[in-house]
Amino acid sequence: MHTAEHPQTLGACDWRNFANIVCMNEDMMTASEREGELAEKADARPAYYVHTLGCQMNAHDSERIAGVLEADGYRKATPSEVDAQNVDLIVLNTCAVRENATSRMYGTLGQYAQLKRNRPGMQIAVGGCMAQKDRQRITEQAPWVDAVFGTKNIGDLTALLHEARRTSEPQVQVATELTSFPSELPTVRGSRVSGWVSISVGCNNTCTFCIVPAVRGKERDRRPGDILAEIERCVARGMKEITLLGQNVNSFGYSTGDRYAFSKLLRACGQIEGLERVRFTSPHPAAFTPDVIEAMASTPNVMPQLHMPLQSGSDKVLRAMRRSYRMSKFMGILDSVRAAMPDAHITTDIIVGFPGETEEDFQATMDAVRRARFTSAFIFEYSPRPGTPAATMEQVPPHVAHERFERLHALQESISEEIMASMVGRDVEVMITEARGFKDAATHRISGRDRGGNLVHVRVPEGCETPGVGDFVTCTVTESHGHYLISDANVQAGDTYAVRH
């Protein structure tokens, strides 16, 4: 699973604004839910704040971290406490996918050191992929950190904090083998209407650029019954949308010899009453089979949205990346998806400047993007990760990689704008996730996602019902931008606006 990273400068007084970075579903927690935290009454329990970097898997892990902390007597800090830096525990849940994630982690820990000096008794914990990778280095370079815990040690966090408080020494717990699924831990969900459900952990692929197998371990599948039971519990609590998570979701079941397990799981999700929307991320092209496409097309609550990592349009580069597919297979999958679901929105990940990439290779990627017509793409300049085979290969000069990034980004932006413009005049169904105005409160806009995963800002026409978070609005798209749509429906002129609860 790969992430979009957005570098920011972290000031001592605005550390909260170094926001959670999640490549998709960034609005899992609604504005109304965030504002609702202001109503919490302060009590004697220690207040925690979890700062998450990385992908959806990390964000979902943070929900488990919160659950473990609250089960031990902590409470989530209110926004006002976070703004005032008045918290008792900061947990930094880290990412290791790109080199600048490492630099930013240590920079962030440096800022936290000052906070700790200003607030004696505050504790700092570091978890996630970078904790799994760096282990002792973190406590050596940032001795003010109280606890370092690996991706398989979320359940050990509170014990580490207690021991650090008792001994005044940093505690490190990083397991190399998974003994129980994180899904068995308590959970504090980030949203009451949308949720993540992990179907597997780890990765069996050997991509030469990727550190994930080293920090997440080998792929392990959950039992289908356990997955469905968790989904049913989510729905019983009012959730209407679930995103199935895995490093390679469509290889689910391969360990037991059931190559149809993922398509069976999708169909089973279609039988859960009250589950309105099902999404999943991320599949691997090598394991993406026709039965998955058929299950997507024939299961009404599985959304016509697909995030399919391309990485490169050059077969030569794909071989060097050790990606077990070629362009003919990748494009064949896209053609099959669009034949079965003409309105499907497809997004991707692409790396430019991979070691050995020539201008000819890069042009093959440009050609692939023109043909694929992705709705959007997360584009990365290659970042060498120590310990991966690609880090030892001959590197493309950074200025060349950056110039290629700029060209590919410009191409994708133009395609995204064209695709979004084609939505104008069409009716879309939007699940509301933000019940507050977009930019100007006078527009009375609310926000959500359509079935294809596109962000849509909807103005409530005068005299019409205002939907709440979790409601569905069918509305006419009246305006488009590169990465979102606007519906300022004029019902008197024949535009559509209808609310479903």
Nearest to 303 by CA among 282, 284, 271, 280: 280
Pairing mode of beta strands 241-245, 277-281: parallel
The annotation status of 475 as a binding-site residue, yes or no, is no
Predicted TM-score (pTM) of the model is 0.87
Sign of CA dihedral 223, 225, 228, 234: negative
Among 173, 196, 219, the domain boundary falls at 173
pLDDT at 53: 84
Q: Are residues 249 and 385 in the same domain?
A: yes
Task: Verify that 432 and 309 share a domain, yes or no.
Answer: no
Q: First CA to last CA across the chain, in angstroms?
A: 33
pLDDT at 8: 31
| More confident site: 215 or 292 | 292
Q: Are 113 and 144 in contact (CB under 8 A)?
A: yes
188 with 297, same domain: the answer is yes
User: Binding residue per annotation — 269?
Assistant: no
Residues 308 and 353 in one domain: yes
Least confident of 110-119, 423-432, 444-453: 110-119
Within a domain: 316: yes
The answer to whether residue 229 sits within a structural domain is yes
| Residues 145 and 124 sit within 8 Å (Cβ to Cβ) | yes
pLDDT mean across residues, the chain: 89
pLDDT of residue 102: 73
Write the DSSP symbol of residue 196.
Answer: E
Q: Which of 392, 386, 321 is nearest to 352 (CA)?
A: 321
| Inside any domain, residue 47 | yes
What is the model's pLDDT at position 199? 96
Q: Is the pLDDT of residue 356 over 80?
A: yes
Q: Dump pLDDT digits (tens) for 61-118.
A: 999 999 999 999 999 999 999 999 899 999 999 887 776 667 778 888 988 998 999 8
Residue 437 has pLDDT above 80, yes or no: no
CATH number of the CATH domain containing 447: 2.40.50
Alpha-carbon distance 58 to 54, whole Å?
6
Token look-up 């104008």 returns 424
Q: Which of the 8 DSSP states describes residue 258? A: -
Give the pLDDT mean for 358-371: 98
Helix axis angle, 359-372 to 398-421, nearest 10° = 10
Residue 49 confidence (pLDDT) above 90: yes
Counting the structural domains of the chain, the total is: 3
The residues with which 127 forms a beta bridge, in sequence order, are 93
203 is known to lie in a ligand binding site: yes
Tell me, what DSSP letter sits at residue 387? T
* Average pLDDT score over residue span 230-256: 94
Per the structure, the complete domain to which residue 413 belongs is given by 182-421
Determine whether the annotation assigns residue 207 to a binding site: yes
30 and 79 co-located in one domain: yes
Distance between CA 245 and CA 27 in Å, rounded? 16
Tens of pLDDT, residue by residue over 385-412, are 888 999 999 999 999 999 999 999 999 9
The answer on 140 and 251 residing in a single domain is: no
The pLDDT value given to residue 16: 35
| Residues in CB range of 306: below 8 A, 6 or more apart | 283, 296, 337, 344, 345, 346, 347
pLDDT on residue 63: 94
Q: Is 55 annotated as a binding residue?
A: yes
CB-facing half-sphere around the CA of 333: CA atoms within 13 A: 22
Inform me whether the pLDDT recorded for 56 exceeds 90: no
